[in-house]
Chains A and B, each alone.
Chain A
Amino acid sequence: DGGITQSPKYLFRKEGQNVTLSCEQNLNHDAMYWYRQDPGQGLRLIYYSQIVNDFQKGDIAEGYSVSREKKESFPLTVTSAQKNPTAFYLCASSLATMNTEAFFGQGTRLTVV
């Protein structure tokens, strides 16, 4: 089955620890994205990548880091510098051509205690 997979679905971490969220796609999409969603809010863009070995900051990149070593993978690290990391994190991918739809994973709910 083609799709985009995020893991784990739920993640708990202690304050001050870095944590890495996984995102894998087998849709052969060039572009991948990470969003954060807080309760009752819309999605806010953290980082995006249009091509392997290249990525750009979104609106709220502080406290996060990413890598894009493979086309199918775009992991997100939530660092200890992120002041309020508890949130719902969504990964998406799309073709890097005009007017294409984005496909989203099922999300990872991160809780920092």
Chain B
Amino acid sequence: LAKTTQPISMDSYEGQEVNITCSHNNIATNDYITWYQQFPSQGPRFIIQGYKTKVTNEVASLFIPADRKSSTLSLPRVSLSDTAVYYCLVGDAGAGANNLFFGTGTRLTVIP
């Protein structure tokens, strides 16, 4: 099971781009990288998933280098409503629930 390491917290001003990096040195060949967002007293919500290079959707971009030992979630022009905890997961949710391993995540605070 590939464990992940993320910064515990980050602060950003409104309107800035935020990059959250996740380290996963033991990532396996079949593992995907998935990011979730969690607001207080709510369940986590899927943001983005990728395997290599770059993935972009309407919410974020995910950058994965060739060695796949790390990944970076990029949130463009954050707003106050992006204040949340962001979790990086590595594994395959369908292959076994233990791959849905949520660490402590990164607490992002957006400042006006």
A contacts, CB < 8 Å to B: 31, 33, 35, 40-45, 48, 50, 56, 58, 88, 90-92, 94-107, 109
Contacts and interface: CB of A to CB of B under 8 A. Distances in A.
Nearest to B34: A101
A45 B92 contact: no
Contacts of A107: 41-43
A98 B95 contact: yes
B42 A31 contact: no
Contacts of A43: 44, 87, 102
Contact of B49 (A41, A42, A97, A101): A101
Classify the secondary structure of B's interface with A.
loop
A99 B104 contact: no
A100 to B, nearest CB: 5
B94 A58 contact: no
A45 B89 CA distance: 14
A99 B32 CA distance: 6
Contacts of B43: 90-92, 104-107
Interface of B: 30, 32, 34, 41-46, 49, 51, 87, 92-98, 100-105
A95 B104 contact: no
Contacts of A45: 97-98, 100-101
A56 B94 CA distance: 14
Given A99-B32, A100-B93, A33 B100 contact: yes
B46 A98 contact: no
Contacts of B98: 45, 48, 58
B94 A98 contact: yes
Given A92-B43, A94-B100, 14 more contacts: A33-B97, A42-B104, A48-B98, A94-B94, A96-B94, A98-B30, A99-B49, A99-B51, A100-B93, A100-B94, A102-B93, A105-B43, A106-B42, A107-B43
Contact of B103 (A40, A42, A56): A42
